[in-house]
């Protein structure tokens, strides 16, 4: 089994930072201690993400790979968490947009099901805004997968 090097810590820390920010993002401002804790956790998660992105940029400025797999993974994690939060907040504003969505985990599940194109069952887009966002996500996903495949085949072809 191949061991991941220290440079893979940036995608892992990005994922952790975004996951903390995603679940801690405050939705209500009713209780001062709970809201403060949510804001602090969200800020810490985003600070961790900011640090990992800055580290990756410094790596690139020092002459590192310009389109490394790590960078694509960080961007993919950012995309998943951003769309999950957008779907969740959109459904909070208009609960008719996505059927079956009631929690942040439902939104994350919906986003991953859309990106993996595995289909829907209990959670699916019903409103026109939600369907438009889903279409954009599917098209973006196809472009990213094609880009990753092209990058991988180019690297293998150049290694020979």
- 104-154 per-position pLDDT tens digit: 999 988 888 888 777 667 788 888 888 888 888 888 777 777 777 777 677
Task: Show the domain range for 142.
Answer: 6-159
Residue 155 lies in a domain: yes
Residue 1 lies in a domain: no
| Number of domains forming the structure of the chain | 1
For residue 92, what is the domain's CATH number? Answer: 1.10.287
- 19-56 per-position pLDDT tens digit: 888 888 887 767 777 778 878 888 888 888 778 777 77
Element housing 99 (H / E): strand 98-99
- Whether residue 22 contacts residue 81, with contact meaning beta carbons closer than 8 Å, is answered with yes
Cα 89 to Cα 26: distance, rounded to the nearest angstrom: 11
In three-state secondary structure terms, 8 is helix
In three-state secondary structure terms, 125 is strand
pTM summary value: 0.67
Question: By C-alpha distance, which of 128, 123, 130 is closest to 91?
Answer: 130
Which tokens belong to 89?
A: 């907040």
């Amino acid at each position: 089994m191949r061991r991941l090097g220290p440079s893979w810590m940036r995608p892992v820390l990005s994922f952790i930072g975004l996951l903390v920010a995603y679940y801690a993002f405050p939705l209500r401002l009713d209780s001062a201690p709970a809201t403060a804790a949510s804001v602090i956790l969200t800020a810490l998660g985003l600070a961790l993400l900011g640090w990992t992105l800055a580290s990756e940029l410094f790596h690139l400025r020092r002459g590192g790979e310009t389109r490394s797999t790590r960078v694509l993974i960080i961007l993919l994690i950012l995309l998943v968490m951003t769309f999950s939060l957008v779907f969740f907040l959109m459904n909070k504003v208009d609960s008719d947009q996505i059927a079956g969505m009631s929690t942040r985990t439902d939104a994350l599940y919906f986003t991953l099901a859309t990106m993996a194109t595995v289909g829907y069952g209990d959670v699916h887009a019903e409103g026109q805004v939600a369907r438009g966002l889903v279409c954009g996500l599917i098209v973006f996903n196809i472009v990213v997968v094609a880009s990753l495949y092209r990058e991988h085949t180019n690297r293998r072809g150049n290694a020979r």
